[in-house]
Amino acid sequence: MRFVGRESELKEFHEIFTSSRFEFVVVYGRRRIGKTTLISKACEGHRTIFHLAAKTTGTKTLSDLSTAAAAGLDEGFGIGFPTLEVFLEYIAEKAKEEPLILVIDEFPFFCASIPEAMGVFQRCIDLRFPKTRLKLVLSGSSVSFMEHQVLGDKSPLYGRRTAQFKILPFSLQETKELFGGSDIDTVRVQAITGGVPLYVSYFSPKKNLEEEIARLFFHVNGLLYNEPMNILNMEVNQPQMYFTVLELMARGVNKHIEISDKSGLSPTQASYYLSTLRELGLVADILPFGEKNKKRTLWVIKDGLFSFYFKHVYPYRALIERGRNDGVTAQLKKSFSAHMGKPFEEICKEYLLIHPELMIIEIGPWWESSQKEEIDIVARTADGELIFGECKFTNAQVCSRELHELMRKSENIRKGNQSGRYYLFSKSGFTKELIQRSKEREEVVLVSLNDLMKRI
C-alpha cells in the first residue's frame, strides 16, 4: 500500500528518533488504522529492532525477541534470552553509545505472554534506559488497554512516556490522496471505511464504486465480508452477542432499555456490551444538543465500516452465502443514498470543528422528544454564538425552503432574540435564489462539496 499522509506524526517521530537522550513513546489506535505502517516509515534509516507480538507463550516471545534483535542489529544470531530483564539489559548495552530504536508492536499481546513485563519495563525505564540513547516504542491496537494499563495513572509506566500518539482515521483529503477517485466517490469511500487507510486502499478509483462494494462486501471471499467479525474476534469474548447488539442498533433500536428488551439481555448485561463497544470506538452514546437528562441518550454505531456492514451486509448474509449478490447490490442502490446522510453529517461537523474562525466548544445533533423534528448540527462557540447546520447528500440542489425550515427549527433552541448562524451543506450545490440570499445575509453560509474537500 502506498504511504500517504501522517506528515505531522512523521515530523515528530523524526525529532524523537534524532534526539540524544532516552525516549519512551506510546502509540495506539484501533486495528487497521496504520500504526505499524507509520512506525515502520518513521524508522526508515534508523537502527531498529522491531518485534511484532502475538498471542503465544513467554518462551516463544523471548525466542522471537532474540530473532528480532539479531535481524535489527545484524549480529548476535543464536543468542538466547532466558528472561525479559536479560533481553532489555542487552538492548541497553547496544544503545549506550549509538541511537537504537526498540519497537514492541501489539504490546497487549506481549504483556499477556510475559505478565511481569510492565514491572520489568518500569525498572529499566527508571534505572537503566536513561543512561542510553534508546528509543522505546510501545504500540497497541487495544485502545482501552493502552489508555488505562499503559498511560493510566494506575499503570507502572504512568508518567514515564516522553511522547504519545493516538493514530486517528484519515481526513477526507488523505482519503482522496490514497483513493484517487472523484470527490463524490471519495466521500462515499470515507463513509464506508471510516477513513481507515487499509480499507480505503482496497477501493479502485478506476472501477464503478457499486461494483467495488459488491466485490469487497457481497462475496464470501470479499476482503471486507468478514472484517467486522474478525475485529470482534480479536477484541472480545462471545462476539455473537455484540453482533446482536450492533444489528439492533443498525435497525434503529437505539435506547438502552429497547436494546435490553429486544436482545434478551438484562439492563446490566446490555450496559456491559454497550460500554465495551464504546471503548472499542465502534459505538457512541449521544444526547440532543444542550440536553442533560441521561434518559434521552441514544446509542448509535460510530464506526463507518461497522455502520455500513450492519445495514447493508449482515442482514443479507444468507443471500451472499448462496451467491445471490445481485439482489443485495440492487437493494444497496435503493438504500445507499439514505445511508450516506449520517456519515455526511459527520464530515460537515468536522468542517465546522476545524474552521479557523469558529471556536466551537459544544457540537452535536438536536432532536425533540418525539424525534419528529431534528437538526443535523447545532454548535456553540466560545463567545456564545449558536450555529445551526443542515446537511444534504442528495442529487437535488438545496433551496430556500431548507433554509426556512432550519431557521424555524432553530427557534426550539434559540432563546428570545439570541442570534444564530446557518450553515447549509450540499453535495449538489444550491439554487440561484438561495445563493443570492446568502450574499444578502451574512448569517447564512453555503458550503459545497468542493469547499469540504478543500478544508477537511
| CATH number of the domain bearing residue 330 | 1.10.10.10
Range of the domain at 390: 342-455
The answer to whether residue 99 sits within a structural domain is yes
- Residue 387, beta-bridge partner list: 379, 421
List the one residue out of 165, 176, 133 whose CA is nearest residue 39: 165
List the one residue out of 84, 15, 74 whose CA is nearest residue 47: 74
The answer to whether residue 82 sits within a structural domain is yes
Query: Looking at the structure, do residues 162 and 13 belong to the same domain, yes or no?
Result: yes
| CATH number of the domain bearing residue 45 | 3.40.50.300
The answer to whether residue 237 sits within a structural domain is yes
Query: Looking at the structure, do residues 149 and 189 belong to the same domain, yes or no?
Result: no
Query: Looking at the structure, do residues 270 and 153 belong to the same domain, yes or no?
Result: no
Contact call for residues 360 and 381 (beta carbons, < 8 A)? yes
- Listed in order, strand segments (DSSP E) in 219-350 are 283-286, 298-301
* Total domains present in the chain: 3
pLDDT score for 212: 97
Amino acid at 268: T
pLDDT score for 417: 66
List the one residue out of 455, 4, 452, 456 whose CA is nearest residue 184: 452
Query: Looking at the structure, do residues 151 and 246 belong to the same domain, yes or no?
Result: no
Element (H, E) at 74: none
Query: Looking at the structure, do residues 285 and 406 belong to the same domain, yes or no?
Result: no
The answer to whether residue 2 sits within a structural domain is no
DSSP code at position 169 = P
- Residue 253 CA to residue 316 CA, distance in Å, equals 19
pLDDT score for 456: 80
Domain's final residue, options 166, 197, 221: 166
Contact call for residues 158 and 151 (beta carbons, < 8 A)? yes
The answer to whether residue 391 sits within a structural domain is yes
The answer to whether residue 423 sits within a structural domain is yes
Contact call for residues 138 and 25 (beta carbons, < 8 A)? yes
- Residue 100 CA to residue 52 CA, distance in Å, equals 17
Query: Looking at the structure, do residues 184 and 326 belong to the same domain, yes or no?
Result: yes
The answer to whether residue 359 sits within a structural domain is yes
Query: Looking at the structure, do residues 211 and 299 belong to the same domain, yes or no?
Result: yes
Domain's final residue, options 316, 338, 360: 338
Query: Looking at the structure, do residues 354 and 273 belong to the same domain, yes or no?
Result: no
One pLDDT digit (tens) per residue for the chain, 456 residues: 789 989 999 999 999 999 999 999 999 998 899 999 999 999 999 999 999 999 999 999 999 999 999 999 998 788 899 999 999 999 999 999 999 999 999 999 999 999 999 999 999 999 999 999 999 999 999 888 999 999 999 999 999 999 999 999 999 999 999 999 999 999 999 999 999 999 999 999 999 999 999 999 999 999 999 999 999 988 888 899 999 999 999 999 999 999 999 999 999 999 999 999 998 999 999 999 999 999 999 999 999 999 999 999 999 999 999 999 899 999 999 999 999 999 999 999 999 999 988 999 999 999 998 778 999 999 999 999 999 999 999 999 999 999 999 999 999 998 776 779 999 999 999 999 999 999 999 999 999 999 999 888
State the cell numbers at 230.
474478525
pLDDT score for 390: 98
Query: Looking at the structure, do residues 144 and 73 belong to the same domain, yes or no?
Result: yes
C-alpha dist (Å) from residue 27 to 11, 37, 56, 64, 384: 15, 12, 22, 21, 36
Query: Looking at the structure, do residues 319 and 382 belong to the same domain, yes or no?
Result: no
For 333, phi and psi rounded to 5 degrees?
-60, -35
Contact call for residues 205 and 191 (beta carbons, < 8 A)? no
pLDDT score for 14: 97
Helices 341-353 and 304-312 cross at an angle (nearest 10°) of 170
Contact call for residues 112 and 76 (beta carbons, < 8 A)? no
Domain's final residue, options 338, 365, 387: 338
List the one residue out of 428, 108, 107, 143 whose CA is nearest residue 302: 143
Query: Looking at the structure, do residues 99 and 178 belong to the same domain, yes or no?
Result: no
The answer to whether residue 1 sits within a structural domain is no
| CATH number of the domain bearing residue 430 | 3.40.1350.10
3-class DSSP state of 425? strand
| Residues near 292 by beta carbon (within 8 Å), at least 6 away in sequence | none
Query: Looking at the structure, do residues 254 and 276 belong to the same domain, yes or no?
Result: yes
